[in-house]
């Protein structure tokens, strides 16, 4: 086993101790590092504020928990006292799910535990005896499960045995869980199954569990007291029943396997419960939900993608069942099918790419990158070319595979408009077809850079507060001509562009012409195969930390630079002979006139001279012309 160096996720620091107590202040104090304390006779760790310690003070309780944790695949840090085999378990505790600690607390699953939170000192070495390395230490730590939430009840689940009327006690216990924890029926049934399988010495049979958990056992929650609407009670019920979370600074509700940011959807769930709930009461509930869900939860790892038939782990290729434990915000509305294949898709992509393997690879990578909910690779795509070349067909394929809920369609110059940003929130792609070739400048360039790189951008819904979020939307555009960029923003835009040329020609006279090609390319088999191609492309991108190199794309980027750099065009038009050995002032005057004639923005003479030196590999030197000293562009001396 490798040497353990503490856990900086769970613990915010360490302190020297004496026996089981710290010898220094640990609350709001400057704590020590692991290396500072490792040689001490006694030392401990101080809990991070977002974590909680649930410990079991008997070997029997510890064994029950370990068996239960293994059966449920719970992920928590587990430390064991080697002398008595008692264990401490550490969990994430967002929004203070467990609000306060205490000793000998009854947990929902029936076990008894001590609960510690805040700046609690956790002994890790006591008089030379280590309570590490961990019994178990996962890479990611779960939110404390429902089973370990404390309850206040006289029902002693742990002590119930056959003949004690335990069926009746469990029936009453359902009301305890429902009233105190606001859990759903399915969540309560899951707790009862864990009690039956891991706490009872002799388990009830399945028929008895079904009888205990019949519908009438679950009392309808009370949301009105006489004529008063208990909005706080209702809000907490909604939050627990529908797993309301704050993701990217917005409230999300778990629905159909993913989390969705939608007040309308939350309100529709309210109406399902109370059909005659007034608009003012719904608004009151939403405002209270905002208050009781203050902490922002990070979106789930982008290595997990939701499809119609489950959640794909990109690393292991395992398809997992949907669960509210995965805060994923997008679902591809098609099945993941690793064995899918479609000849029409293959032949169409090859024809669009003109059988250029690098272009074909980029098209696949473009699709896969849209699946990925991160933007650190900082690339956008412009599909360029005139005529019937397949641009629209390809974008139709991308729209179809993503699904209508996962993309928007803004022109490139609309990205910075006040309410446009909000439409991109939670989307996988922005697909702009036949965008304008107008100049990009100022705010449009700044917004483009932020979106492509996944930097925080400001958004605002009408009548609501401004909020900020990190965009994961990928920008895809098609254009006959790539928009030009004002000088100040050109280099930043160039770094973020993949310009893919579409040089194919599609015609009704083609021998393989199919009038219903779009229909064929958007059928289930074709779409499932396109998903596989996209996933393969994404795997290449992540492995190579970038997109496939292509000579055709490089040529397009060079043309883009030329089109956006009047100095290059100036050199091409006038030639080197009109520049070299000529006065720098006179050459700049020619350039000034050239820009005015063509409607280009000019740069200062200093920047112009620097760019001429870079393009021509020349230098500026002093010469005498007609007896007068003059500065000219001249070839570098070898």
Phi, psi of 320 (to 5 degrees): -100, 155
List C-alpha distances in Å: 506 to 275, 324, 367, 522, 526: 55, 46, 22, 18, 20
Residues 403, 305: Cα–Cα separation, whole Å? 14
| pLDDT for position 184 | 82
| pLDDT for position 28 | 84
First-last CA distance in the chain: 63
Q: Residue 487: which of 450, 440, 455, 433 has the closest Cα?
A: 440
Residues 520, 525: Cα–Cα separation, whole Å? 9
Residues 377, 399: Cα–Cα separation, whole Å? 21
Strands 112-116 and 21-22: unpaired
Q: Residue 430: which of 495, 500, 369 has the closest Cα?
A: 369
Q: What confidence tens digit (pLDDT) does each residue in 532-548 have?
A: 999 999 999 999 999 99
Regions of the chain short of the pLDDT cut 70? 1-2, 163-165, 215-217, 219-220, 437-439, 486-489, 637-638
- For every residue of 32-52, DSSP letters joined together read BPHHHHTTSSSEEEEE-TTEE
Give residue limits of the domains in the chain.
11-148, 157-217, 224-297, 343-541, 565-635
If one looks up domain 565-635 in CATH, what number appears?
A: 1.10.10
| pLDDT for position 519 | 95
| pLDDT for position 1 | 44
Q: What confidence tens digit (pLDDT) does each residue in 249-298 have?
A: 999 999 999 999 999 999 999 988 888 899 999 999 999 999 999 989 87
The helix-helix angle for 343-352 and 391-402 (nearest 10°) equals: 140
Residue that has been written with the tokens 């980029």 in this structure: 362
| pLDDT for position 434 | 80
Are 310 and 259 within 8 A, CB to CB? no
Q: Residue 312: which of 372, 365, 375, 378 has the closest Cα?
A: 372
Residues 608, 587: Cα–Cα separation, whole Å? 10
CATH 3.40.50.300 is the classification of domain 343-541: yes
Q: What confidence tens digit (pLDDT) does each residue in 75-120 have?
A: 999 999 998 999 999 999 988 899 889 999 999 999 999 999 888 8
| pLDDT for position 586 | 93
| pLDDT for position 437 | 66
């Amino acid at each position: 086993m490798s040497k353990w160096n503490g856990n900086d996720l769970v613990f915010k620091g360490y302190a020297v101790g004496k026996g089981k107590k710290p010898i220094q202040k640990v609350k709001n104090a400057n704590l020590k590092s692991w290396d500072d304390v490792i040689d001490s006779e006694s030392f401990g760790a101080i809990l991070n504020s977002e974590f909680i310690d649930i410990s079991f003070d008997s070997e029997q309780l510890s064994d029950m928990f370990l068996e239960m944790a293994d059966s449920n695949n719970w992920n928590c840090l587990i430390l064991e006292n080697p002398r008595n085999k008692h264990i401490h378990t550490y969990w994430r505790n967002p929004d203070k799910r467990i609000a306060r600690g205490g000793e000998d607390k009854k947990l929902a699953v029936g076990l008894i535990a001590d609960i510690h939170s805040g700046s609690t000192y956790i002994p890790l070495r006591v008089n030379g005896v280590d309570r590490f390395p961990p019994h178990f230490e996962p890479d990611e730590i779960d939110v404390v499960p429902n089973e370990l939430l404390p309850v206040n009840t006289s029902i002693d689940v742990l002590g119930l045995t056959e003949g004690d009327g335990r069926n009746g006690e469990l029936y009453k216990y359902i009301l305890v869980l429902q009233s105190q924890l606001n859990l759903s029926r399915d969540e309560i049934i899951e707790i009862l199954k864990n009690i039956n399988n891991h706490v009872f010495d002799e388990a009830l049979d399945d028929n008895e569990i079904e009888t205990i958990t019949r519908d009438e056992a679950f009392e309808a929650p009370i949301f009105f007291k006489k004529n008063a609407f208990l909005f706080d009670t209702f809000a907490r019920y909604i939050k627990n029943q529908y797993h309301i979370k704050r993701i990217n600074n917005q409230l999300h509700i778990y629905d159909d396997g993913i989390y969705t940011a939608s007040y309308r959807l939350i309100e529709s769930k309210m109406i399902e419960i109370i059909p005659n709930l007034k608009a003012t009461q719904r608004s009151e509930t939403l405002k209270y939900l905002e208050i009781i869900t203050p902490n922002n939860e990070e979106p789930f790892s982008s290595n997990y993608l939701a499809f119609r038939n489950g959640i794909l782990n990109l690393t292991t290729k395992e398809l997992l069942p949907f669960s509210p434990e995965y805060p994923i915000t997008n679902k591809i509305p098609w099945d993941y099918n690793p064995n899918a294949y479609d000849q029409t898709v293959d032949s169409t992509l090859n024809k669009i790419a003109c059988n250029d393997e690098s272009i074909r690879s980029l098209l696949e990578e473009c699709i896969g990158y849209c699946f990925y909910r991160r933007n650190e690779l900082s690339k956008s795509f412009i599909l360029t070319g005139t005529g019937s070349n397949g641009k629209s067909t390809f974008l139709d394929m991308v729209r179809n595979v993503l699904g209508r809920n996962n993309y928007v369609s803004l022109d490139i110059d609309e990205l910075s408009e006040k309410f446009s940003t909000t439409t991109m929130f939670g989307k996988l792609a922005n697909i702009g077809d036949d965008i304008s070739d107008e100049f990009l400048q100022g705010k449009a360039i700044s917004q483009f850079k932020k979106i492509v790189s996944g930097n925080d951008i400001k958004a605002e819904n009408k009548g609501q507060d401004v909020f900020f979020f990190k965009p994961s939307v990928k920008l895809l555009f098609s254009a006959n001509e790539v928009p030009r960029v004002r000088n100040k923003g050109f280099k930043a835009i160039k770094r973020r562009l993949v310009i893919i040329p579409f040089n194919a020609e599609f015609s009704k006279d083609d021998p393989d012409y199919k009038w219903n090609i779009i229909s064929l390319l958007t059928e289930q088999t074709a779409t499932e195969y396109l998903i596989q191609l996209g996933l393969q492309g994404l795997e290449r991108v992540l492995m190579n930390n970038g997109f496939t190199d292509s000579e055709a794309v490089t040529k397009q980027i060079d043309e883009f630079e030329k089109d956006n750099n009047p100095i290059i065009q100036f050199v091409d038009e006038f030639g080197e002979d009109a520049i070299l050995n000529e006065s720098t002032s006179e050459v700049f005057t020619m350039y000034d006139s050239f820009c005015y004639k063509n409607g280009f923005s000019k740069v200062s003479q200093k920047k112009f001279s620097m760019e001429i030196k870079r393009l021509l590999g020349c230098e500026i030197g002093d010469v005498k012309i007609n007896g007068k000293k003059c500065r000219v562009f001249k070839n570098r001396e070898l």
